[in-house]
């Protein structure tokens, strides 16, 4: 597996868009490509790739970090390829991203977890904040983690 920061003008970014659409939006009857993606140039995009020889670099999982300020960020739109779920790729991707973020001076990360993913994020040290709310038509929970612990 190879963890990599992804440039917005790269073919890997296009793979990320497809994965995010297929995993996060299409099941809800939404279309990622109909959203305004212009702000994504200001975000940090990360992917976990299978770099087996002969296959090229196949995207297995991805996430976005929105820098809120020098020390705080927002994790958004994490997706794992359905054929590769259950292999701890999400855990690995988040660990690699958190490590990168701490080298950049980030101290705290927030995310908006879908209801069914709260337990996953809690196991990784994220704590629920406030009450659940509706986002993109389904229940979510704000969660936060101190990256300095």
Q: What is the mean pLDDT of residues 1-24?
A: 95
Backbone angles phi, psi at 36, to 5 degrees: -80, 110
Instruction: Kindly report the pTM of this predicted structure.
Output: 0.92
Structural domains counted in the chain: 1
* HSE of 126, CA atoms in CB hemisphere, 13 A: 24
Contact residues for 18 (Cβ-Cβ < 8 A; gap 6+): none
User: What is the per-residue pLDDT across 17-71, written as a single tens digit (0 to 9) for each?
Assistant: 999 999 999 999 999 999 899 999 999 999 999 977 555 688 999 999 999 999 9
pLDDT for the residue numbered 52: 72
**Measured between alpha carbons, how far is 32 from 111 in angstroms, rounded to an integer?**
19
For 111-120, how does the pLDDT look when each residue is reduced to its tens digit (9 = 90+)?
A: 999 999 999 9
H helix or E strand, kind and range, residue 4 = strand 2-6
Domain, as residue range, for 118: 2-146
- The CATH number of whichever domain residue 55 belongs to comes to 3.40.630.30
Kindly report the CA angle at 34 between 81 and 27, in degrees rounded to 5?
40
Rounded Cα distance between 56 and 49, Å, is 9
Share of the chain above pLDDT 90, in %: 89
Q: Residue 56's pLDDT is what?
A: 63
């Amino acid at each position: 597996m190879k963890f990599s920061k992804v440039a917005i003008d790269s073919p890997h970014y296009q793979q990320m868009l497809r994965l995010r659409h297929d995993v996060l939006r299409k099941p809800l009857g939404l279309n990622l490509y109909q959203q305004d993606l212009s702000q994504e140039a200001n975000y940090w995009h990360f992917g976990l790739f299978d770099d087996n020889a002969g296959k090229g670099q196949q995207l297995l999982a991805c996430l976005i970090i929105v820098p809120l300020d020098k020390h705080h960020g927002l994790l958004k739109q994490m997706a794992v390829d359905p054929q590769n779920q259950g292999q701890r790729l999400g855990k690995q991707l988040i660990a690699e991203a958190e490590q990168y973020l701490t080298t950049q001076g980030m101290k705290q990360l927030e995310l908006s977890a879908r209801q069914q993913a709260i337990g996953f994020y809690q196991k990784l040290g994220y704590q629920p904040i406030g009450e659940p709310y509706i986002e993109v038509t389904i229940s979510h929970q704000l969660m936060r983690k101190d990256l300095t612990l």
